[in-house]
Structure 1
Amino acid sequence: MPSISRRGVLAGLTAAATTGLAGCLGDDGAFPDGDWPMPGRTPQNASALPETTLPNAVTEAWAAPVGSYWQSAPVVYDGDVAVATGSELATFDADSGDERMTRPLDAEVCANPAYDAATETLVVPTYDHGTDGDGGSVSAHDAASGEERWSLDAGDARPYSVRIADGVAYVRTSTACLAVATGDGAVRWRRDDFEPVAYEQYNAGEDLSASVAPTVAGDTVYVTDANRVRALAREDGRERWRLSAPFVLSAPAFDDDRLYVSEYAGDTAAFDADGEEVWRAPVSGVAAPSAGPETVYAVDGEIVALDAETGEERWRWDLRASTVDATPVATADGVLAVGNRSAALRDRRRFGGSGSRVRWSLPDQVSYFVSPAVGAGHLFVLDPFRSRLVAYESA
């Protein structure tokens, strides 16, 4: 079993390799200047900044109007932040909030987009509720101009979220999993034996499946299916193994040879890379868990900190929301969580000391259906009541 120090070192090396962040930040913290090119930050979907400490305080840097209907989280790349809302793709300068471009889409955005640095492409899932029947598609757009480069017809299937690794977009739809080259849209492989992630007995429809994306780690793609998670070979999509995950509604998170899965109306559990259970905790979660250096954070109406090695509960904090679909962001000394109240929470057990669990709170009502993003020196969240994208900076 890996030691705590080994887990922390590996997490730091992963962060440095994938985003080019500088070394460990001081106790006063700052939001890092790196990218957040997809929800979960990396293809492993850990939603973690293991070299970043929480700022002592934040202030609003800017806010920009966005469409009034969206299900997608912001992504950050090359000093820009992109948001897909309604039937529109928009990008903004991350420092000033000045609009870079706005591009109409052929259908309504239905899940989270992702950015590929190798081809400077944004991949966006859309779904058309047309009079001639529903139709899904995944399209790729030039990240600077928004011009469409290619589009892939998903038929009647609803596309879920996208993760990108090494020039390949891994896409989960309601009936399939695909590997698609981001450069030209060529399908590398496709499996059509998946079921919709929706559970009528819990009134959990596919509108909650916008955070269901393949998780890519090493030579394996971990994909949420109805009541299970399946491990596929990254090269050709053949199935290696599957594990039971009742009523799972989100993507798994991978960190340090561990796969973390949160079940809706069930548990949060850790598995090794071969699908063998390591621990199980009686904490349900609608959103994907986040995996910090030593702590896994599961979230539903509360955020619960679990020891990454044992699954033991460390602490919990009430988000004052019945259901939270947004994955929190784990840091070196705590976590950023959104709900009916949103805050930076310190993991006091790790770093000692006393005082409030809350380092600071956000003054605005933040969407708890889409995950926050951290990059380009800012924290980005969506304000649903005023239809705006908000950027915060450390104060």
Structure 2
Amino acid sequence: MDDPVERGSTRLERRAYLSGLGAAATVGLAGCATLSASPPAYDRTQATFDPPERSYDETYSGGDVTMFRRGVRRLGYYPDAAVPDDPTVEWSHPINAVGHTAAKSSPRPTPDGEGIVVASDTGRMYGFDLDGERRWTAQTGATYLGIHGTPTIVEGTAIVGGYDGSMYAVDVETGDRVWRLSRSALDLSIAIGSSPAYWDGVLYFQTEHKHPASGRLWAVDAETGEPLWTDDRDIGGMPHPSPAIDPATERLVAGSNDGIVYAWAFPSLSFEWSFETGGEVKGTPPVYEGKTYVGSWDDSIYCLDLLDGTERWSFETDGIVMSNPGVDPERGVVYVGSGDGRVYALDAATGERRWSTGVGGTVLGSLTVTPGAILVGSYDTNLYALDPETGAIRWRVPNRGHVTSEPVPHDGRIYYAERADLRDYWNDDRETELVENGHVYCLGPGE
């Protein structure tokens, strides 16, 4: 049986591998690793999937794994984070350059706490130390629309998918390639915007396909990159969201551009239910106390029962809900942003609004929840800290472009990324001009 995963040294063939997304040359970068290659196809019918049982680890934080929204439940909740009162920018580096409006990849601390890994919409991955010194840069084959998912870091390996339809694994110390899973092994995927969820050695993520527009849920061995399982059903609409897992109710849920939320039993992955909203579902749905919270382009957020998919409540805003909601399990509150430029605090059990606050522009990315602040980026180019109880603005920090990544608190600092500053991106009569690259930032305590 052919192996879909190539392993090897840092230096590989540099070539674009876009497969229907458009033609573009691979951008060279002096002194960086190049991860592009095209391994042979893999016969997934020969694979089996039988993960061992384990006790429920709510977040995986503090161990050997770190991932998007901090854990498999995707709460975006950091109970031990201290948010500074008057932060300043300690360092920033230019990484993003593409006008694609999907939320940007979020920085992730390495499990040892000593470094930061972030991916860019140019297809590069970066490793920084906490003081901003760049350790390494690795160029993937995703050179057209780059990478928008957030790396999942398992021990010493960072794993993320690209908009070339392939999955990449690199060493967090050196940027060297560990493995690459090609699109041919993923039923000719054209893009992976979904950030992998990790559980007991297995990665769970969605792939995007076309002809027709559709998607698939996959389970892949995290150590080797070998595909273990995929659902035979086609998910509609080329899904972007990342899966969320709630072992307590034995459910895995994910949304898609077809406006439908899908749920599988976990870990058996037998299909359980689907729920149709009135618009596209772009955000990752967190799971909490037997429920999941789903934002939709029909301007609403829905609370669904994890066991059977019935609607518990819904709340309507004045704009599309594309952001990833954050949940405070201590307060029992769901925080969500909207295209109407407001952040809403909703009672997790009833959907009753506790407060709402304007933040100057569309909220497209993730909301981060800490005991003392709700961190949220806005299309007005500011990062905001809001009081969790009242919604009052504690502070705002101006940036260059739209702030759409998850703000990640770590070791007294906050790390996040923004979209590039682009001129005439929304004007069809003029060519878009890159004014300034989007940066990855580190905020620290002020003087």
- TM-score > 0.5, shorter chain as reference: yes
Tell me how far apart the structure 2 counterparts of residues 141 and 125 of structure 1 sit (CA, whole Å).
Answer: 12
In structure 1, give the amino acid aligned to 2:223.
Answer: G
Q: Residue 153 in 1 paired to residue 204 in 2?
A: no
Is the Cα contact below 8 Å between 2:68 and 2:152 reproduced in 1? no
Counterpart position of 1:216: 245
TM-score w.r.t. the length of structure 2 is 0.70
Q: Note the C-alpha offset of 1:156.
A: 4.2
Listed one character per residue, the Cα deviations across residues 69-111 of structure 1 (whole Å, up to 9, x for unaligned) are: 38322212232111212121111002x1001111111223332
TM-score by length of 1: 0.79
| Residue from 76, 81, 89 that aligns with 2:109 | 76
Helix, strand or coil at the partner of 2:116: strand
Q: Relative CO higher for 1 or 2, CA cutoff 8 Å, sep ≥ 6?
A: 1
User: Quick one: which amino acid aligns to residue 391 of structure 1?
Assistant: C
Which residue in the other structure is 1:312 paired with?
A: 352
Aligned residues: 342
Distance 1:14 1:343 in 2: 30
Query: How far apart are residue 313 of structure 1 and its match?
Result: 0.7
The corresponding residue for 2:212 is none
- The yes-or-no answer on 1:142 pairing with 2:182 is no
**Unpaired stretches in structure 2, ≥5 consecutive residues:** 1-55, 209-214, 422-435
Percent of paired sites with the same residue: 24
Q: Could you list the runs of 5+ residues in structure 1 that have no partner in the other structure?
A: 1-12, 21-33, 129-135, 199-205, 350-355
2:311 pairs with one of 268, 271, 277 = 277
Q: Is the 8 A contact 2:83 2:413 kept in 1?
A: no
- 2:277–2:298 contact (8 Å) kept in structure 1: no
Secondary structure of 1:40's aligned partner: helix
Q: CA deviation at 1:280?
A: 1.7
- The structure-2 alpha-carbon separation of the partners of 1:56 and 1:156, relative to structure 1 and needing over 3 Å to count, comes to closer
Question: In the alignment, what sits opposite 1:112?
Answer: 149
Contact 1:367–1:381, Cα closer than 8 Å, also in 2: no
Give the partner amino acid of 1:18: Y
Compute the displacement of 1:127 (Å).
2.5
Whichever residue aligns with residue 262 of structure 1, its letter is G
How many Å separate the matches in 2 of 1:375 and 1:253? 21
How far apart are residue 57 of structure 1 and its match?
1.9
- Report what 1:389 is aligned to: 440
- Check 1:190–1:36 CA distance in 2 against 1; reply closer, same or farther (3 A cut): closer
Q: Distance in 2 between matches of 1:53 and 1:277?
A: 35
CA displacement, residues 102-145 of structure 1 (integer Å, 9 cap, x when unaligned)? 11112233321322334x211121233xxxxxxx1112112222
Paired position in structure 1 for 2:397: 362
Q: CA RMSD in A?
A: 2.5
Can you list the C-alpha shifts for 1:320-360, whole angstroms capped at 9, x where unaligned?
22x332111112244111101331111335xxxxxx81111
In the TM superposition, residue 273 of structure 1 has moved relative to its aligned partner by 2.5
Q: Which has the larger displacement, 292-301 or 189-198?
A: 189-198
Q: 1:375 to 1:165 in 2, by over 3 A?
A: farther
The structure with the largest helix share of the pair is 1
Residue 231 of structure 1: aligned partner? 263
The change in CA–CA distance for 1:307 and 1:259 in structure 2 (over 3 A counts) is same
Structure 2: distance between partners of 1:278 and 1:145: 47
